[in-house]
A and B are shown apart, each in its own frame.
Chain A
Amino acid sequence: MQTKILLDEEQMPKKWYNIQADLPTPLDPPLHPQTKKPIGPDDLAAIFPMELIKQEVTTQRSIDIPADVQDVLRLWRPSPLYRAHRLEKHLKTPAKIYYKWEGVSPAGSHKPNTSVPQAYYNMKQGVERLATETGAGQWGSALAFATMLYGLKCTIYMVRSSYTQKPYRKSMMQVWGAECIPSPSTTTKSGQAMLAKDPETPGSLGMAISEAVEDAASHSNTNYALGSVLNHVCLHQTVMGLEAREQLAMVDDYPDVVIGCVGGGSNFAGISFPFAGDKLTGKHKDTDIIGVEPASCPTLTKGLYTYDLADEAGYTPLLKMFTLGHDFVPPSIHAGGLRYHGDSPIVSRLVHDGVMRGISYHQSEVFDAAETFSRTEGIIVAPETSHAVKGAIDEALKCKESGEKKTILFNCSGHGNFDMSAYDAYYAGTLVDYEYPDELIRQSIARIPNVP
């Protein structure tokens, strides 16, 4: 009875998989926020290195992972694939549950899969400093780790509610030499404007993105790095799905169901794109690919598929995506990394086209699932990851009812060792189950999303 399915280091993917090559029609282009015309590489050059801009738009199917990046990724990759025997037994399900364990990275989540190449390409182009935002702190700590490796400075705008809730994430950033500032802050114009409008705001990912983009655009030695949403970020994360597909092949299996949690979409993209590609190219047509999101911020399940800004202040291009409106400030749930009004344009497109689908859960039920998982498999997952756990458990329970022996793969994207206050709240019975009142919002005058 094999529990861990491991790849050798030399089996680590040498190329990323670019799903844009397999889309039936090209993605709708990002639009300039002022002119509303498609943006070109020059528009992005102020804040991104050229290699990443190329990756953003290319339709080449495989893209080489630079040898220097592979060297760093080998610190924790290939990551293990686990068969969740104990969870299956506990659920009494005929389903087979596998999970890809990304908590083995130094930062404790899947985020370094993209922070490392992003820092690398910026270093190669002579950039001295990166500015970014972070929600729960997973991305911020991952970028702090990566910039430290390549000798870059790093400034991180951390959503204020998380900054207070998750003090040890900012300690990690400090250890890796980065500067962490609660957002909205007084250091940027957009931050000052947001504070003037609402001094007590808990902040949001959209606000923090505005600050980081402004910082990068107003300093010539500084570029911007984004931890999710964009095509190149999703591309870098495909190492997870590529490895998982190899690992499953080692035990002669292939998933019927692929599950990941969705905030900006990169973790879900990373685990699922190789399988979605198989679906698009007709190799495995029936895979059910499920993105799990919080009921309080249900972008895929209740948002509109339209052009919207990626940030609060309007510095970013307009992206065609599922959105709840860029001015929507999601309630402060513990899964801070899933508090984002929009979603990856590629994930959005695939959901819109029916290749993937979204589901949503309330906060307390995902913690029920996380508890079950930690009491069977041992791992205490991050609140974000617990959404994927809940999705996998529910699929396995459906199999129990139907008797189907499905193979379920989910991305166990990060550990929750810095999220114990969330578990404390769960046990204290103080978790609030937030909802998005979509029916009333549809009736309201604003009729969001407020697309410019």
Chain B
Amino acid sequence: MRCIGFLVNPFAGMGGAVGLKGTDGLLQEAKKRGAVPLAPVRAVAALRLLRDSGIHFLTCSGSMGEDEMKEAGITAYSVEYKAPEMTGADDTRNACRIFLRHAVDAIVFCGGDGTARDVYDIVGTHVSVLGIPAGVKMYSGVFAITPAAAAEILNTAGEVGVRDAEVVDVDEEAYRHGLLRTTLYGYARTPYIPERVASSKQVFEQPDEERAKAEIAEFIAEVIDGTPEVLTILGPGTTTAKIAQVLGIKKTLLGFDAIRGRELVAADLNEGGILALINDEKKWRLIISIIGSQGFVLGRGTQQVSADIIRKTGIKNIIIVATPYKLSHTPVLYIDTGDPALNASFGHHIQVISGYRIAQRKRLFQPDE
């Protein structure tokens, strides 16, 4: 029997309905404005579809899970964490610690980006994590599209794969002022249903994420091996990390690292570091992947690469890599360098390396459309 840790952040999403663009630190204000808990409703919607799943749930007391289990008619659960009346980030973390101690197969949470971050803090990549979307902001990649989609993934036992998913940190204060500032926080492992080969569907080249990454990495490694004189700056992400791995280099997961051939030149570079490095270079290239679930190539989670660096590098020396799964879920890509003219110079289409000697032409959003 599968054993899954299940928790609800009952207050997630409350700020959104009352115009607070997030609930972190503003719960009282949200309540004062008349916000009602949304997450329990979303959690119940998912749980109702899991009554016959054969899953045993470990959960928390009260509105952090037990109430939702009862409401949905689930009986196969046990309460492993006693939650206080007013729950917070610490309760999410404590519950996750206990779930891990019980060696759960996966952890499912209902909440938003803040909850995802709290879960990731404890869980890391030990077990896979799946989010039922209920927050104000859901820029992390661990969320299913809907509660029903989350239930489908959990019901499709044996056929699901596991992929890397970004956990991003959104600056809520800036967000309330209309600015989206996201920082890549880490990579969780999340279950997903690979696009299967079906007669009514486009067949994708590599349904398996790990295979797809390995193929991209093999190709890019051949490019790097073929051009030992060129300095390569590898951006954050698991696909770029795979490239480094194929080359026998240990890369920082969230940072920009510079390599030449199969040698690491510098790790975890900031903007100044990159500029200083390329100042002395004749030829260099930048390899980046798509950050977050919204399809940002540059400008979100890649603050180290300024407009100045992009201009100096030249668009033709920027190589974008992404797996077919990722691309199929991001129909349009975005670039936000902070300089509208530079954004425009990328044009309306961009080439993304998606396999071994294979690329996809993707549409790039331009504000003139």
Whether A430 contacts B223 in the complex (CB less than 8 A), given A331-B355, A436-B359, A440-B353, comes out as no
Q: A161-B203, A421-B201, A443-B226 are in contact. Are A437 and B357 (CB under 8 A)?
A: yes
B349 (CB) vs chain A CBs: closest residue:
A433
Residue in A closest to B225 when the chains form the complex, CB atoms: A445
Could you give, for residues 412-452 of chain A, a 1 whenever the CB lies within 8 Å of some chain B CB and a 0 otherwise?
A: 00000000010011000111111111011101111110000
Verify if B360 is at the interface (C-beta below 8 Å from A): yes
A281 within 8 A of partner (CB): no
A425 CA / B226 CA spacing, docked (Å): 37
Complex-state Cα separation, A430 to B202, whole angstroms: 7
Asked if B200 is at the interface (CB within 8 A of a chain A CB), the reply is yes
For B198, the closest partner residue in chain A by CB is: A164
Let me know if A150 is at the binding interface, CB within 8 A: no
Does residue A296 face the partner (Cβ distance < 8 Å to B)? yes
B248 interface contact, C-beta 8 A: no
**Contacts A432-B204, A445-B225, A445-B226 supplied; 4 other A-B pairs, CB < 8 Å:** A329-B356, A435-B360, A439-B316, A444-B223
A106 at the B interface (CB under 8 A): no
Given known A-B contacts A432-B327, A436-B359, A437-B353, A332 and B225 have beta carbons under 8 A apart? no
CB of B232, distance to nearest CB on chain A (Å): 11
Q: A444-B219, A447-B226 are in contact. Are A296 and B358 (CB under 8 A)?
A: yes
Closest to A296 in B: B358
Q: Shortest 4 CB-CB distances between A and B: which pairs?
A: A445-B226, A444-B222, A445-B225, A433-B361
Pick from A166, A200, A202, A432: contact of B202, CB under 8 Å: A432
Cβ–Cβ < 8 Å partners of A296 in chain B: 358
- Determine the chain B residues whose CB is within 8 A of the CB of A439 once the complex forms: 316
Residue with the highest number of chain B CB atoms closer than 10 Å, among A425, A435, A439, A446? A435
A360–B196 CA distance with the chains assembled, in angstroms: 29
List the B side residues contacting A440 at CB < 8 Å.
219-220, 223, 319, 353
B340-359, CB under 8 A of A: which get 1 and which 0?
00000000000101111111
Q: Contact between A443 and B360 (Cβ–Cβ < 8 Å)?
A: no
A431 with B202, Cβ < 8 A, contacts A328-B357, A362-B361 known: yes
CB distance from B206 to the nearest CB of A (A): 8
Given the contacts A331-B355, A445-B222, A424 and B361 also touching, CB distance less than 8 Å: no
Instruction: Decide yes or no whether A167 CB sits under 8 A from chain B.
Output: yes
Measured between beta carbons, the chain B residues less than 8 angstroms from A55 are none
B84 within 8 A of A: no
Q: Is the CB of B205 within 8 A of A202?
A: yes
User: With an 8 A cutoff between CB atoms, is A165 at the interface?
Assistant: yes
Chain A residues whose CB sits within 8 angstroms of the CB of B362 once the complex forms? 433
Q: Which residues of B contact A430 (CB under 8 A)?
A: 201-202, 328
Which residues on A sit within 8 Å (CB–CB) of B226? 443-447
- With an 8 A cutoff between CB atoms, is B34 at the interface? no
Q: How far does the alpha carbon of A421 sit from the alpha carbon of B208 in the complex, in Å?
A: 22
Pick the contact of A331 from B201, B205, B207, B316 — CB < 8 Å? Answer: B205
Contact at A432–B359, with CB atoms within 8 Å? no
Inter-chain contact B361/A435, CB cutoff 8 Å: yes
Q: Is the Cβ of A165 less than 8 Å from the Cβ of B225?
A: no
B203/A164 in contact, CB under 8 A: yes
Residues of chain B within 8 A of A444, CB atoms compared: 219, 222-223, 225-226
B36 at the interface (CB under 8 A from A): no
Write the residues of chain A forming the contact surface with B, with a CB cutoff of 8 angstroms: 161, 164-167, 200, 202, 295-296, 328-329, 331-332, 334, 362, 421, 424-425, 429-437, 439-441, 443-448
Residues A164 and B197 in contact, CB atoms below 8 Å apart: yes
- Please encode chain B, from 131 to 161, with 1 for each CB lying within 8 Å of some chain A CB and 0 for all others: 0000000000000000000000000000000
Cα–Cα distance between A436 and B355 once the two chains are bound (Å): 10
Supposing A202-B205, A429-B331 touch, asked if A441 and B361 sit within 8 A by C-beta, the answer is: no
Min CB distance, B163 to chain A, in Å?
16
Q: In whole angstroms, how far apart are the Cα atoms of A446 and B357 in the complex?
A: 11
User: Which residue of A has the minimal Cβ distance to B197?
Assistant: A164
Tell me whether B200 and A433 are in contact (CB under 8 A).
Answer: no
Enumerate chain B interface residues (CB-CB to A < 8 A): 197-208, 211, 219-220, 222-223, 225-227, 316, 319, 324, 327-328, 331, 351, 353-362
Quote the shortest CB–CB distance from A117 to chain B (angstroms): 33
Q: Is the CB of B223 within 8 A of A443?
A: yes
Bound Cα distance from A384 to B361, whole angstroms: 20
Residues of B within 8 A of A435 (CB): 351, 358-361
Query: In this complex, what residue of B is CB-closest to A329?
Result: B356
* Nearest chain A CB to B262 CB, angstrom units: 11
In the bound complex, how far is the Cα of B360 from the Cα of A439, in angstroms? Answer: 14
Across the interface, name the chain A residue whose C-beta is closest to B205.
A331
Contact A434 B223, CB 8 Å, known A424-B200, A425-B202: no
Residues of A near B204 (CB, < 8 A) are 332, 432
Instruction: Please give, as numbers and ranges, the residues of chain A lying within 8 Å of B199 by CB-CB distance.
Output: 164-167, 421
In the complex, chain A residues whose CB is within 8 Å of the CB of B327: 432
Complex: A296 Cα to B358 Cα, angstroms: 8
Chain A contacts of B360 at CB under 8 A?
A: 432-435
CA distance A332 to B198 in the complex (A): 13
Q: Complex formed: what's the CA distance from A445 to B211 in Å? A: 21
**What are 11 contact pairs spanning A and B, CB under 8 A?**
A161-B203, A331-B358, A332-B205, A425-B200, A430-B328, A434-B354, A436-B357, A444-B223, A444-B226, A445-B226, A446-B226
Q: Which residue of B lies closest to A167 (CB)?
A: B199
Q: Complex formed: what's the CA distance from A167 to B200 in Å?
A: 11
A424 to B331, CA, bound (A): 17
CB contacts (< 8 Å) of B223 on chain A: these are 440, 443-445
Q: Which residues of B contact A202 (CB under 8 A)?
A: 203, 205
Q: A425 to B199, alpha carbons, bound, how many Å?
A: 10
Q: In the complex, what residues of B have CB within 8 A of residue A295's CB?
A: 361
Complexed CA–CA distance, A448 and B355 (Å): 16
Closest to A160 in B: B197
- Centre residue among A166, A167, A421 by max chain B CB count within 10 A: A421
Residues from chain B with a CB closer than 8 A to the CB of A165 are 197, 199, 203
Do A446 and B211 contact each other (CB < 8 Å), given the known contacts A331-B205, A331-B358? no
- Whether B357 and A441, one on each chain, are in contact in the complex, defined by CB atoms closer than 8 angstroms, is yes
Whole-angstrom distance between the alpha carbons of A436 and B203 in the complex?
18
Q: Cβ of B197: which chain A residues have Cβ within 8 Å of it?
A: 161, 164-165
A327's closest neighbor in chain B, by CB? B357
- What residues of chain A lie closer than 8 Å to B354, measured between beta carbons? 434
Which A residues touch B220, using CB under 8 A? 440
Minimum distance in angstroms from B19 CB to a CB of chain A: 33
Q: In chain B, what residue has the closest Cβ to A164? A: B197
The smallest C-beta distance from B59 to any residue of chain A, in angstroms, reads: 37
Among B201, B207, B222, B351, which residue has its beta carbon within 8 angstroms of that of A425?
Answer: B201
A334 to B200, CA, bound (A): 12
CB neighbours of B201 from chain A (8 A):
421, 425, 430
In the assembly, what is the distance between CA of A441 and CA of B201, in Å? 29
A328 neighbours in B (Cβ, 8 Å): 357
Counting chain A CB atoms within 10 Å of each CB, the highest count among B199, B203, B227, B361 belongs to: B203
Closest to A442 in B: B226
Contacts of B353 on A, CB cut-off 8 Å?
437, 440
C-alpha spacing A164/B201, complex, angstroms: 10
